[in-house]
Each structure stands twice: as structure tokens, then as C-alpha cells.
Chains A and B, each alone.
Chain A
Amino acid sequence: MPVRDVSSLKRLLPGRVFDAEADLLAYSYDAALERARPDAVVIARTAEDVRKAVQWCAESRSPFVARGAGTNLSGGCVPLRGGVVISTARLDRILAADTQRGVAVVEPGVVNLNLQKRLEPAGWFYAPDPASHKICTLGGNLGENAGGPRCLKYGVTTHYVKALEVVMPDGALESFSIEDEGPEILSLLVGSEGTLGIVTKAWLGIVPSPPEIVTVLAAFKSVEEAAACVAAVIAAGVLPRVIEAMDRLSVDAIEAYAPAGYPRAEAILLIELEGEGKSLELQLDEVSSLCRRHGAIECRSARDLAERERLWEGRRSASAALARLAPNVLVEDGVVPRSRLPAAARRVREIAQAHGTPAALLSHAGDGNLHPQIIFDERDREQTSRVKRAGLEMLRSCVELGGSVSGEHGIGVEKRAAMTWLFSDETISLFRRLKAALDPEGLANPDKVLPLPGERAPGETRPKARPPTDAAAALIEAVRQRAKDRRPFSVFGARTKVPEQIAAAGKGSALITRALSKVVEFDREDYVATVEAGISLGELKSKLEPEGFFVPLPMSAGTVGGMLAAKPWPGVREGILGMRVLLADGSVADLGGKVVKNAAGYDVPRLLLGSWGALAVILEVTLRLSPIRPALPSELPKPRPPRFGTWQARLKKAFDPHGLLNPWVGELR
């Protein structure tokens, strides 16, 4: 690769550009294994620095890679095609921490912990808490859609993003918000690993700290018993803030290094409850008795900070304990529906054994997120490739169990090929079109997230797509016909939200989703339901709620699909896990999945919120249900018609190049 001439970049950003060999080498890695040298490094101090640097890249067709603290575990910051690494680590001001409105305004280089420290005195906190919170930046958290132990109760990064200021790949400075009328570009950017733009400012939701916290330690004779206990706790309607699990290997490693007094059991759970007074007592009683009923051989709890810290000390020293055994630790990041956790743990053990690569298993058990930790020495090539293979196989087994190849660490370069296990060719090609729509020159963090053309992970793993229901099949056929004839058409649900004149005129030929009214899958164990888009909200709620499974959408006349497409309330995004959508050309794409956290691929389901059917037809949606009644608005404002600015219009083109779908949408305003 010819080295790019960066002298004009240096003139453009004096004192901010570094290109000595040591600088290039120091920006050739992150916390994963891949390496590649950039041509220059920009240490930006302001959004304007970032904008100038990106614009320079756009003009000189140079790739660029955004970088925060470089702690991601998937190679996301490695400049595979050289170009410019743009560090946002020094955009590190907290611009506001407004507890009145529950918003913090930050620059992307703010370290997660520093925001927490700023909020603490006021009795507030920022919920996403990756284990790396002392070092990783909020920009990196946004890039990876990071989660942490606490996200069982509180959700992951995307649940806290309210607005972003972003330098787009052509150098334009834009702002996006969840209040935007029209497709939710904001959500597409979260978790996009710097492949769609660079965040320069973020408005993040913050929450009040709980009055009291109790930590419970419970030890079990088997992983299965521990998992059954987790399921029981959730089903009981207790929503702990944290449920962490450790297996025997982890416990042995911890006890050998920094004895925490953990019982030598096959599985240990650390459960954290929060609340106040009586209600906290009740939760604690309930959890303790559930633990005992599920065979806990030991169960103790701690209240004051020092005692709680002592229970956590062991868990925290796990990585140090492993780091003593070998230079490198591969931390995998698979996720499965919670009920499949024991099966996944078994598979992980078998795979580790088969490859001769012992793996300690730490999990965010409440979310079904597994972090097998395999120790090795990267200087031993044979061992390294064996470990990588074992890691990939573990991910594959997660996909086979209905899960995903990343719960929170992202895809980067290391898991790029594994995307073919998860997504169909149609879906991946949709992702590619979206990337090309926002970054036509392919300069923003190239060769990340999406498999290269022709790249496949070995083996077919993707579970066969469920055949469409009769109603869906009919709709798909109707769309195919129209696509063939290039005939524009409209899609309506119950027409409760579309302005009357349009519904009446039914510009193009109208297709009605009302017949898509099935609950396709209702997984009581995992609190997940997949429903067709034409089902009415009233019907859905009356089917699930009497059994104690609450739907995270407000009540309203009309269909579920209509509610999502029109987005009368930004909060509809909260409980969405996946979607099956029908594209304007008649192809079907399955997006997201059944797992409660998923950092693989672009968040297209949320992008479709507020798109008023102009991008794709929602056929099904997978929702996370709650064992307790969520707080939802009882009155909804009239949904506002969408706005299609430059970026929305480009996305529309990527979804629907011939402008067939809901052609009237642009005229609503």
C-alpha cells in the first residue's frame, strides 16, 4: 500500500497530526489481536478538528477510523486499509449534567467512569457500565453499543442515547435525535462501530441512584441449577439490577490468586437487588428462598458498601487471576436466549476440551450473555489459531442455540465472517446498501462489521428461516408482483394514524397488513414474543397480559406495525429486539433476534421506527416482555409526519431504489 502524503493534513491541523513511526505503531492495535498501521494519527481537540480531518479524508479519498480509548475487543479501531486514525479521546468535556431533565451532554472522549463520578454527588448515575468503565470512552460505548452487568435491569447504551452530533463520512456535521420525525438514523449510528460517521457530542439519559442495594451470593452444585434459579427469579417478577455467574474454573482461578472466600461450587451467582425499606426486604426474602429452593448450597447477602465490595472482589479479580496464567486472554462474547444458558455453557466446555484450550466462563446470566475466557500466548502461532478457532466455534454454538455472535463487544474485524452465520445474504446486502448510502466512498472504518464480498465463516449455521404465515406469503407475493411491474404501492395497518385523505386516496395500490395478525412465537421462559405487524395492540395485550407478560408498547387503536412505523412516542424503541421486514423488491430480511442484547450488525429495526412504511414493510416484530407492568403513557400525541432530509432520502434510496413504497410519505409535511 503506498504511504499517503499527509503533509497537507498537517498544515490543516497544526500540532494535532502525528506520523512518526512510533505514533503509527502505537495506533496499529486495540485490545484485540489484529494490527495494521495508519498513515497518520489526528488527536482532535474539538468537533471542528474532527470535521476538518474527515473532510480532508473525503477529499483525498483516505480511509479514516475513529478511536476512543482503544479498548474494544474485536479490532474495531485497527486501520485495516491505513489512512487516518482520528482519536476523539481528547474531546473529553462534560458539557452539562442536568438532573432536572435527566440528561448529560458529553463529548465522546469522556471516560465512562468520569461521567459517573460527576453524577454521583447529585445522587444520579449513567446506567451502562462495561467492565472497562474506568478506561473506555462514551464515544467507544456508542460505537459498540456497550453494555455491562447492570444492563439486565437498565438496558444497554442505545437505551440511553437521546441525541448525537455526528461528522458524517463526507465531512458534514449533523445532529440526530430520537425525537426526529422520520427514520431513526440516531439508532442506526449507535453500535455502527464508526463505520457511518464519528460522534462529536452526545446527549445521554441519566437516572437517579437507587436508595439501597443488597448483594446476594449463591452457590450451586451445577450450572443447570443456577440457571434454573435465574429463570425463577426473573419469572417471579423480581428484576435484579445484576445477575452475574461464574463457573468452577473461574472460581478456582480466583481462589488460587486472591482468595475471596467463594465456595468451591460448580456455579456461583452474584445477584444485586435495589430498592428501599420493605420492598427491598421482600425482594431479598423472595430471592433467598428461590435460591434455596433451587438447590443453593450456600446463600448469603451483604448490605453495606464494604461488605458488598468483598463479595464482588473475587469477581473483579477474575481477569487478574487469569492474566497471571498466560500473557493473553481471549474474551469471547456470545449471547443466547436466557433459557439456553446451560446448553451454551455445556457446549463451551465441550469445545474448549476438544481444542485443548481451557476456558473459564463468566456470564451476565440474566441476559444470556456469555464471556468464555481462554488463556494463551499470542507469540505461539499454533496455539493462537487454535484458540481463535475455539472462540469462533463457541460463537457458532450460540447462533445454533438461537443467539448471536456478540452481546456487547461488537463485530469489528475479528467476527466479521461470523456475520454470515447470523444473517442471510439478503440481510447482509441490505446492510451493505445502508453503509454505501451514508458512505459511498467506503472511507469510514472500512472492512469492519460486514463480511467482505465472498467472505464466509465455515459452515451453515443460521437456523432455517421460519416460513412465512399464509397472510405474510400473500403480502410478499403481492409486493413481488408490484416490484416486477415497478408499480408504486401503499401499505396500511388499521389506518388509524395515516391522514385521511391519503388513506382514502390510497395512492398507488394499497396493501393492508391487518391479516398479519398472529402471535408467531411466545417464549414464556425467555419473556420474548414474536408477533405479526397487523395484530392490533388491544388484541396483543389481551392475549399476553392476563398471563403476566407485559408488552412494552402503549395502548392505542390500530396495529403494532402502525405504532412502530408512525412512532407517536419515542419510547416505542425500548423493547424491540428484532424484526422481519419485507423490502420493496419483495425480498425478506430478518433483523436482530430473540436475545435481549445484540451488538451484531446495524440496528435496522430501530431505524424503521418513524419511517412511516417508506423504507420497508414490517412483517413481524420481536418484543421483550416484562413480568411487571411497565410505565407507559396513557395518552399519545398525534404522530408527526416524517421529514426526509438528505440522509433519510439516501437511506430511502438504499431500501427502495425505485421509490415504490408509500410514495406519498414525502408529501405528508
Chain B
Amino acid sequence: MSGVLGRLLTALGERSCYDAVSQCSRCGYCEQACPTYVASGREPQSPRGRNQLARLLLEGKFEDPLSAREALSTCLLCGACTSVCPAHVPTADIVLEGRRELSGTRSAWLRKALHHLFVRSPDILAILIRAGYALKRSGLSRLAARSGLLRLIGLRALAEADAHVQETPKRLLFEMLREDTSLKEDRAAAWRYFASCGPNFVFPRVGLATIRILKRACGRGSFFDGRCCGLTAYNYGDLDTARALARMNIERLESLRGEAPLIADCSSCAAFLKSYPQLFLREADWRARAERFAARVRDVVEISPSLPKDALREAFALHDCCRARHGQGLSQQPRRALQPACARWRELPESDVCCGGAGLFAFKHPGLSEAILRRKVSDIAASQARAVAVSGTSCLIQLARGLKKYYPECRVVHWSEAVCEALDHEDG
């Protein structure tokens, strides 16, 4: 039984979900910050609308509760609304709670399958993913997509990635890191690297870049070798799996000596690791442990390596990943090192507006996602940037697709890769 959270950690303190949603006074301040409202012009697809509908669901005022599904499922969970809301109403958390209310026992088997893959046998997950890539390389990728291997195991986001990403890594990141002796667990480690699913399964080069930066900026560190952060399960409404994964990660960090920070290079993942305490509001012991854990988590963009000035000659822009900007409140951090290293820095007009990637979103709501993506790419094109740095896996996939389609002069790179390009310059 996964059920619902019931209580949330909000900016105003711990609240029942009902109290949290009732904090929305319908002022509408959030409406223009919401990409789906701006794209559709429909109140049910706005933060205020979602909060009101969630509230009515909780109050049992719907005759046809399933009619709220579209409103809740079209939320990007980007958190832009919470950033501008006077009361910081946690709309994304409320939406997820609303989805859980609605989903009931739907696709319990799928949840079970997920649970198995992530919690019990992560190795099988890796095997499946590798098999998927093998199929793709062998030219059977369409078949692979159609057979929906990844989708079958609940990883629609990765299925999307598979469809849109050209690279098919032969080796997964964690396999390489496990073999790397310089990353062996060490009590004196200055940092520990958490391999998020994106770098792990799709973009090993990002993880390698991150490790290079960490070594350079912070000295010796180690590979954390934990489990998936649990975000996919959480977003899928599977709280049990999310909690099980969180406990494993917490226990693992506790078992390691020292107080070194735990660094993740997918902002969605980092934000979720930081929000572990919310999973354990009813378990005092675990909550305290989750709080200690969360306090040690850092997004890689919080690291500020020293870079040569103007090393990057290309016109560079930064797209603020939602889970960095709104999920973790990081706005200056990603710019601190990168901006001075760029000779032609382009500040995007709405850099903190979601690109429409958001995990499953692009797959489930192609029309809406496309509209949001077009708005983002046209901002990038207007700035005449030739490279955009991002810090989340979804953004990397979504922008790669969008730029290729609408503005191929520009490429997208992970923040860590951009920083490494600047380091290359220094290293000659």
C-alpha cells in the first residue's frame, strides 16, 4: 500500500496537505509563471486551478473526480509557481498528492515491477537498459521503441530519451566508476559522487565531466555507488519504492565515514535527495536521519571551480533547470563560475521557465510540451547563443531535440561539460 503522503513540508512549516492547499488564496499571482497556463490559456492547467481542483478533490466535492486527471497530469512539477507565490504554496507536491488520490490501485502490477527493478534487483535494470541499447545500435531501435522495452518497465522517460538521444553508451557510468581506483571509498574523501540515472544510463560523459571538476575543485573523493534516488517511483505515485530507495541511500551514506558532501549532477535528482525528509514525516527516527542526509546533499552547480576568464569564446547561455532554480532555490550558483568563463555570455530572458522536458511530460502531452519547447527555443534563438548549459537530464534531452528541430546552430551541454570545456582551455 503506497497511499498518499497526507502531510507536506512547506515553506510555512509542516502542514497537512489540506492545510497546505487551503493556503492558496486564489490571488492568481502564479498564473503567468506557469508554462502550461501560458501555453494553453486554460485555468485548469494553471497553478491556481490545480490547487483549487486538488482542494475540491480532498473536500470530496467532485462528482466526476477523474475529470481532474488532465489538469493534474499536465503539471510539469517545475515549481515556478511556488517561487512567485506569496504564501509559497507547494503546488507540485499538491499535484502529486492529487495524482496519488486519483490513481488508487491503478496499475499496481506496474508498481510492483518497478519496485522489483529498482529496489530488489538493480542489476537486472542495468541489463535491460543495456539490452535496449544493443537493440538500438543494431539498427533495431524502432523495433525496440515499439516493443517498448523501457516503457514496459515503467521508464517512459528513458524510453523518450532512447527515442531522442543519438548516443548509445556501450558502458554504463557506474560500471566505469566502480573500476576507477582513484574513486575508491576512502574515509578522507572530500566529496562523494552520486550517479543519477541520467548520467548513469544515458550520458556517462556528464558524470565523467562532473568527476573531473570535483577532483580539480575539491580534491580527492569517492564514488557513492548508491541506488536510484527514487524520484521516478515517487513521481509515479509509488511512495513505498521511493521510501525503500531513500532508506538504502541514507543507510549507505551513514555507513561511510566523515561528513563529506554528496554531490549529484542531475538537478532533479539533487532536489529529490534534498527532499527526503518529506517522505518520513510520520517516522520520527527516519525523518531525523533523512534531515541529516539531506543537509549533506549538493547539486554540482553549487560547486564553484575557478576557471580562466573568457575561456569559452562561443556565445553561451544558461537555462535554469527547474529543479535547481525552483526546487533548490539555486539561481546565482550555476552562473558563479561559468559566466566569467564565457566571453560572450547571453542571459536568457526567461531562463527560469521550464523547457517542457520534465520526465514523462514530453511523451504524455506532446502538444503542450512542444508549445513550451518552442517558446524556450525561440528565447534561445533570439539571444543568438551557440551553446546552452543545463543541469538536468530532462532538459538535456528536451533541448537537444528542440534545438535540433528549430535552431540547429546551437548545441546543448550539461553544466559540468561546459565547465570542462573551460578547463580544457586552461589545460591547453
A interface with B by C-beta (< 8 Å):
18, 20-23, 25-27, 29-31, 41, 43, 69-71, 87, 89-90, 92, 109, 111, 113, 132, 134-136, 319-320, 322-324, 327-329, 377-379
Contacts and interface: CB of A to CB of B under 8 A. Distances in A.
Contacts of B25: 31, 323, 327-329
Contacts of B64: 20-22
Given A21-B63, A29-B52, A89-B41, A69 B31 contact: yes
B12 interface: yes
Contacts of A22: 44, 53, 62, 64, 67-68, 70-71
B142 interface: no
B49 interface: yes
A20 B42 CA distance: 12
B28 A18 contact: no
Contact of A23 (B23, B41, B44): B44
B32 interface: yes
Nearest to B43: A26
Contacts of A132: 27-29
Nearest to B63: A21
Contact of B22 (A71, A87, A379): A379
Given A20-B67, A21-B67, A324-B12, A30 B52 contact: no
Nearest to B71: A22
Contact of A70 (B12, B24, B43, B86): B43
A543 to B, nearest CB: 47
Contacts of B26: 29-31
B347 to A, nearest CB: 15
B43 A27 contact: yes
Contacts of A323: 23, 25, 86-87
Contacts of B31: 69, 71, 135
Interface in B10-60: 12, 22-29, 31-32, 41-44, 46, 49, 52-53, 56
A263 to B, nearest CB: 24
Contacts of A327: 22-25, 87
Contacts of A324: 12, 87
A134 B68 CA distance: 27
- Enumerate the 6 nearest inter-chain pairs by beta-carbon distance, A residue then B residue, closest first: A320-B86, A90-B41, A323-B87, A323-B86, A26-B43, A71-B28
Given A22-B68, A132-B28, A43 B44 contact: no
A22 B42 CA distance: 11
Contacts of A69: 28, 31
Interface of B: 12, 22-29, 31-32, 41-44, 46, 49, 52-53, 56, 61-64, 67-68, 70-71, 86-87
B87 A134 contact: no
A444 B215 CA distance: 68
Contacts of A71: 27-28, 31
A18 B32 contact: no
Q: Which of B42, B61, B63 has the most CB of A within 10 A?
A: B42
B38 to A, nearest CB: 9
Given A25-B53, A132-B28, A320-B86, A87 B71 contact: no
A381 to B, nearest CB: 14
Contacts of A111: 32
Given A22-B62, A31-B28, A134-B32, 18 more contacts: A20-B70, A21-B62, A21-B63, A21-B67, A22-B44, A22-B53, A22-B71, A29-B52, A31-B27, A43-B41, A43-B42, A69-B28, A70-B43, A71-B28, A319-B86, A320-B87, A323-B25, A328-B25
Contacts of A320: 86-87
Q: Which of A21, A26, A87 has the most CB of B within 10 A?
A: A26
A564 to B, nearest CB: 38
A640 B274 CA distance: 72
A420 to B, nearest CB: 28
18 contacts: A21-B63, A21-B67, A23-B43, A26-B44, A26-B49, A27-B43, A31-B28, A41-B43, A69-B31, A109-B41, A132-B29, A135-B28, A135-B29, A319-B27, A319-B86, A320-B86, A323-B87, A379-B22
Nearest to A136: B28
B28 A70 contact: yes
A90 B39 CA distance: 9
A328 B86 CA distance: 11
Contacts of B22: 327, 377-379
A451 to B, nearest CB: 25
Contacts of A378: 22
A336 B70 CA distance: 47
Contacts of A113: 32
Contact of A26 (B27, B52, B61, B63): B52
